[in-house]
């Protein structure tokens, strides 16, 4: 079975790999920036976002430290969170067309997830 990163990198040339994407996103662990002082409790963590070129705010999450954006605020804290806990929490934040989750933003393999995509993933894979 391929890894999430392999799947993300293969999607542009092999769209059939999308069938593995949601299960891999749900099962993976991610890195995300939160505001300092809010990192102790995922339920109240203040995730950092930034404006993208298309006027939609992106909430960046990363599959690896090598993809972490370098220009985050000095008071940003990088946390590690399992997908099974992250995605339900992001339903409180992500709003399609306003703020969307960006997996490995600024990377060639990066993707953006809308609220409906996250909801579908949770519906399928949450126990």
In a domain, 53, yes or no: yes
Report in angstroms the alpha-carbon separations of 17 from 25, 51, 56, 62, 73: 13, 29, 26, 20, 35
In a domain, 40, yes or no: yes
**Residues 8-24: tens digit of each pLDDT:** 999 999 999 999 999 99
- Residue 100 in 3-state DSSP? strand
In a domain, 95, yes or no: yes
In a domain, 76, yes or no: yes
pTM of this prediction?
0.93
Range of the domain at 48: 29-125
Closest CA to 113 of 42, 59, 37, 43: 59
Per-residue burial over 18-54, b = 16 or more CB atoms within 10 Å of its CB, e = otherwise? eebbbbbbbebebbbbbeeeebeebeebebbbeebee
In a domain, 75, yes or no: yes
Instruction: Report the first-to-last Cα separation within the chain, whole angstroms.
Output: 21
User: Is the predicted pLDDT of residue 31 greater than 50, yes or no?
Assistant: yes
For the chain, the average pLDDT equals: 94
CATH of the domain at 72: 3.40.1350
| Average pLDDT score over residue span 36-58 | 95
In a domain, 56, yes or no: yes
User: What kind and span of H or E run contains 112?
Assistant: strand 111-113
In a domain, 77, yes or no: yes
In a domain, 8, yes or no: no
Report in angstroms the alpha-carbon separations of 35 from 25, 65, 126: 23, 18, 27
Please give the DSSP secondary-structure letter assigned to residue 41. -
Looking at the 3D structure of the chain, how many domains does it have?
A: 1
| Average pLDDT score over residue span 92-112 | 97
Report the pLDDT value the prediction gives residue 2, as an integer from 0 to 100: 65
């Amino acid at each position: 079975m391929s890894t999430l990163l392999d799947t993300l990198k293969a999607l542009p040339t092999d769209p059939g790999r999308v069938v593995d994407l949601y299960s891999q996103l749900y099962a993976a662990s991610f890195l995300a920036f939160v505001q300092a002082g809010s990192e102790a409790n995922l339920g109240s963590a203040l995730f950092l976002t930034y404006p993208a070129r298309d006027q939609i705010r992106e909430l960046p999450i990363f599959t690896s430290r090598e993809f972490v954006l370098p220009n985050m605020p000095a008071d940003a804290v990088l946390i590690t969170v399992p997908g099974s806990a992250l995605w339900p929490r992001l339903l409180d934040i992500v709003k399609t067309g306003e703020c969307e989750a960006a997996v490995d933003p600024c990377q060639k393999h990066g993707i953006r997830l809308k609220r409906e995509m996250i909801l579908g993933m949770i519906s399928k894979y949450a126990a």
